[in-house]
Amino acid sequence: MRASAVLQATWQRTRRPRTWGAALLFGLAWNGARALMGLRWPGVAEALTPSLWVALFLVLAPLPWQWTGDGRPMAGPLRGAIQALPWMATLTFAILLLLGPAGGPPPFGRGPGPGPGPGAMERPAEHPGPRRGMGPRREEPRLIPIHPRYWVFGVAHLCFGLLLGWVLADRERAELQVAAARRAADEAQARVLQGQMNPHVLFNAISGLTELVREDPAAAEAALVNLSELLRALLVHGSRLRAPLGDERRLVEGHLALERLRLGRRLRERWDWPEALDGLEVPPLMIQPLVENALKHGVSVAVGGGSLDVRVAREAGRLHVRVANTGPAPPEEGPGEGPGMGLRNLRERLGLLGAPAEALRLRREGDWTVAELVLEVEA
């Protein structure tokens, strides 16, 4: 991972319940073992110290194993060990310096105070002062003022931190690979669903033009030109997983141009689609099926035609789409029924994108059939 990805992964570990759950269980087990050994009950700060220490190791131990400087999720064993050893040694040494005063007991051995901890052997008191034939006793200076028993404790935790960091980093690597495989499968399925939309739109457009060939050959010729442009736009637009909203607008306009030639004055349109939103990135072929469904199952089958109302707005980082039409109410959805393949295809793709079930709603408001769609957008 690169530095930014490593920092992001570290931040994610601090937000996982299992990190703090494991730290809490360790703290309870540690203090429970103290109670069973007959040691005095620690104070609040001393009781929380084991949990905080384990949480610190869980969050920071995988960091050197994950840093590779490239796109790989984990460093190799040799490089990871070389990076992790000084990192964990520094972290362990820093914690040891914070545990207590120089020359004190090992961590969590006893609470603060001048007396010995429970269970300590009583020794006869030594009277200070010069002894016969000898000068005053002098303490030899230490290079690092830490009690020797701390070093055993520190080495044990250094080994524990190295092993823990490797295990956690390898687990997160496996999780990333599973998530990447799942995303690849979802993207492949989304491409298949988008590919199904191309012949579906083309078939509906051609079936609508068969009437024009007999009734108005000139209009049919113009419709065929529009149809070729629509097919070209479908091939380009439908091959991407995300595309500018402006491309979706041009696709919808091309589809409506065909329908105007077929329906004439029977189609009455109203648009509220600000051009300022055209640069937003959205999944392709999301609005076109709504417009197609409104025309096919509402306006075109109504006596005297009907009205189409398209509104697009951005609110709080989301794109709100509302497509309404007059005409007959759509049939109730069920096995083999419902508005058609376009909306079923759209719902499946929304599910693959992780959108909630209520992201697409279809309802009846008086004489209007209303379809509402909510999408997450990217600038």
Question: Does the model's pTM come out above 0.85?
Answer: no
Percentage with pLDDT > 90 across the chain = 13
Over the stretch 27-74, which tens digit does the pLDDT of each residue have?
899 888 888 888 887 788 888 888 888 888 889 889 889 988 888 888
Using one digit for the tens of pLDDT, what is the confidence trace for 161-201? 888 889 998 988 888 888 877 776 666 666 655 555 556 56
Whether the predicted pLDDT of 110 surpasses 60: no
pLDDT at 108 over 50: no
Three-state helix/strand/coil letters over the chain: CCHHHHHHHHHHHHCCHHHHHHHHHHHHHHHHHHHHCCCCCCCHHHHHHHHHHHHHHHHHCCHHHHCCCCCCCCCCHHHHHHHHHHHHHHHHHHHHHHHCCCCCCCCCCCCCCCCCCCCCCCCCCCCCCCCCCCCCCCCCCCCCCCCHHHHHHHHHHHHHHHHHHHHHHHHHHHHHHHHHHHHHHHHHHHHHHHHHHHHHHHHHHHHHHHHHHHHCHHHHHHHHHHHHHHHHHHHHHCCCCCEEHHHHHHHHHHHHHHHHHHHHHHEEEEEECCHHHCCCEECCCCCHHHHHHHHHHHHCCCCCCEEEEEEEEEECCEEEEEEEEECCCCCCCCCCCCCCHHHHHHHHHHHHCCCCHHHEEEEEECCEEEEEEEEECEC
| Mean pLDDT value across the chain | 77
pLDDT tier at 222, thresholds 50, 70, 90: confident
- 216-376: what CATH class? alpha beta
Span(s) in the chain for CATH 3.30.565.10: 216-376
